[in-house]
């Protein structure tokens, strides 16, 4: 007898490949207080005017629609989300939604907002830090904020947050620091995530700058005995730990082993465009529709039905057409 696929008729956010989507990443702003060369093009032309960005109210109203459709987790990102002047207001408003609220930040401004972060029920914070060396930090980011970022990671740990440290690994840049990052997990409850370098407009991506997961694993294996952990459903990462260590480490393998078949993520850019995939060329303008009083649910569902099976339908990294990472929101 032929087995027919089970259709998820009860759930609203299902795409043409039966993937259920319950995770929304919202970019709050296209600007940043760092200049990471893999993210922000040096000749970045377009930055949005204030009226092109979603207001705190619009962010809440659009997020609420996604939550009614089944979203269970919202991550705020950017640009740098904590440089938005109304970030505390945004956290306040989103805290009333029945979702797991998370933030991805470069860490510089955490001490200024930590009380509001706690009050909004936020428990999980991802902080980006690509090197443990001050001079290299300045070379990668064009800014001198290593001490602030490191101190704020320690602050988050001491305040009991679940802290992930995002490390974009690139050839001849920081591939020599994998074991130093893992050493941090001996005493600290940190979850280090090594991310393969991905192509976006203006970031000078080339295949030979990518350090693949297997190469990283070989390197780490030659220094430590490592243990594979079980990866939760929808996980984008492959998790490991050193037996006896407090924290863990993982690999985000978008370039070598994409995890699209299990994808549950949707994105909203700071100017209110819905992307059904990080690599999708097509975007749908939810903010304009919202401002014109249109119902968003059918627009969201139709955007989701257009989602491609893998990598936004752009399998060749050398030919990808997309915005720069800072304009999409990582």
What gap in Å lies between CA 64 and CA 68, rounded to an integer?
Answer: 6
Q: Is 6 exposed, middle or buried (0-12, 13-18, 19+ CB in 10 A)?
A: exposed
Please give the residue whose beta carbon sits closest to ligand SAM in the complex. Answer: 330
Beta-strand runs (E) in the chain = 23-27, 73-77, 100-105, 124-128, 162-169, 190-196, 227-228, 237-241, 248-252, 265-268, 273-275, 284-285
Strand partners, 76: 26, 103
Name the DSSP class of 14.
B
What is the closest distance, in whole angstroms, from the C-beta atom of residue 214 to ligand SAM in the complex? 17
Which of 13, 24, 39, 91 lies at the binding interface for ligand SAM (CB under 6 A)?
39
Relative orientation angle of helices 87-94 and 110-119, to the nearest 10 degrees: 20
CA 131 to centroid of chain Cα atoms: 18
Which of 23, 24, 28, 79 lies at the binding interface for ligand SF4 (CB under 6 A)?
79
Could you tell me the two tokens for 320? 């990808």
Nearer to ligand SF4, 71 or 127 (CB): 127
CB-side neighbour CA atoms (13 Å) of 27? 28
Q: Per CB under 6 A, does 152 bind ligand SF4?
A: no
Could you tell me the two tokens for 291? 């401002």
Task: Please give the C-alpha separations between residue 134 and each of 37, 142, 193, in angstroms, as whole numbers.
Answer: 16, 11, 20
What gap in Å lies between CA 166 and CA 330, rounded to an integer?
Answer: 11
Q: Per CB under 6 A, does 38 bind ligand SAM?
A: yes
Which of 62, 184, 325, 327 lies at the binding interface for ligand SAM (CB under 6 A)?
325
What gap in Å lies between CA 151 and CA 155, rounded to an integer?
Answer: 6
Could you tell me the two tokens for 102? 């998370």
Q: Per CB under 6 A, does 322 bind ligand SAM?
A: no
x/- letters, 187..206, toward ligand SAM (CB under 6 A): --------x-xx-x--x---
Which of 13, 76, 78, 323 lies at the binding interface for ligand SF4 (CB under 6 A)?
78
**Binds 200: which of ligand SAM, ligand SF4, none (CB < 5-8 Å by kind):** ligand SAM
What gap in Å lies between CA 41 and CA 226, rounded to an integer?
Answer: 37
What gap in Å lies between CA 100 and CA 104, rounded to an integer?
Answer: 13
| Candidate segments 101-109, 137-145, 223-231, 293-301, binder of ligand SAM by CB under 6 A | 101-109
x/- letters, 122..141, toward ligand SAM (CB under 6 A): ------x-------------
82-141: contacts with ligand SF4 (CB under 6 A): 106, 128
205-224: contacts with ligand SAM (CB under 6 A): none
Q: Per CB under 6 A, does 34 bind ligand SF4?
A: yes
Choose among 76, 73, 28: nearest CA to 54: 28
Nearer to ligand SAM, 14 or 198 (CB): 198
> How many amino acids of this chain bind ligand SAM (CB under 6 A)?
20
7-26: contacts with ligand SAM (CB under 6 A): none
What is the closest distance, in whole angstroms, from the C-beta atom of residue 30 to ligand SAM in the complex? 10
What is the closest distance, in whole angstroms, from the C-beta atom of residue 198 to ligand SAM in the complex? 4
Decide: 52 and 213 in contact? Cβ < 8 Å.
Answer: no
| Candidate segments 72-80, 193-201, 212-220, 272-280, binder of ligand SF4 by CB under 6 A | 72-80
Residues that bind ligand SAM (CB under 6 A): 32, 38-39, 77-78, 80, 104-106, 128, 166, 168, 195, 197-198, 200, 203, 325-326, 330
Q: By the criterion CB under 6 A, which residues form the site for ligand SF4?
A: 32, 34-36, 39-40, 78-80, 106, 128, 326
């Amino acid at each position: 007898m032929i087995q027919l696929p089970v259709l998820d008729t009860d759930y609203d956010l299902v795409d043409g490949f039966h993937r259920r989507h319950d995770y929304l990443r919202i970019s709050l702003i296209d600007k940043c207080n760092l200049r990471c060369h893999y993210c922000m093009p040096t000749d970045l032309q377009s930055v949005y005017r204030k009226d092109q960005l979603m207001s705190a109210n619009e962010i809440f109203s659009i997020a609420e629609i996604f939550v009614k459709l089944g979203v269970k987790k919202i991550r705020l990102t950017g640009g740098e989300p904590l440089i938005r002047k109304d970030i505390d207001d945004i956290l306040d408003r989103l805290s009333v939604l029945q979702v797991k609220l998370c933030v991805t930040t470069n860490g510089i401004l955490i001490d200024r907002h930590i009380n509001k972060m706690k009050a909004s029920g936020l428990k999980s914070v991802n902080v980006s830090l690509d090197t443990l060396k001050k001079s290299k930090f300045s070379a990668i980011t064009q800014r001198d904020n290593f001490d602030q970022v490191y101190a704020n990671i320690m602050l988050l740990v001491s305040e009991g947050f679940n802290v992930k440290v995002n490390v974009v690994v690139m050839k001849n840049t920081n591939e020599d620091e994998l074991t130093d990052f893992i050493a941090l997990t001996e005493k600290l409850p940190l979850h280090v995530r090594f991310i393969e370098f991905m192509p976006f407009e203006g970031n000078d991506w080339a295949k030979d700058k990518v350090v693949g997961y297997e190469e990283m694993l070989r390197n780490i294996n030659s220094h430590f005995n490592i243990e594979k952990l079980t990866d939760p459903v929808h996980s984008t990462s492959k998790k490991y730990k050193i037996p006896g260590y407090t924290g863990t480490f993982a690999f985000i393998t978008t370039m070598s082993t994409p995890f699209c078949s299990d994808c549950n993520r949707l994105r909203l850019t700071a100017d209110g465009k819905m992307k059904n995939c990080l690599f999708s060329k097509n975007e749908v303008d939810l903010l304009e529709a919202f401002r014109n009083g249109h119902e968003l649910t059918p627009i969201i569902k139709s955007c989701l039905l257009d989602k491609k099976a893998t990598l936004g339908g752009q399998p060749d990294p050398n030919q990808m057409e997309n915005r720069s990472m800072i304009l999409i929101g990582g």
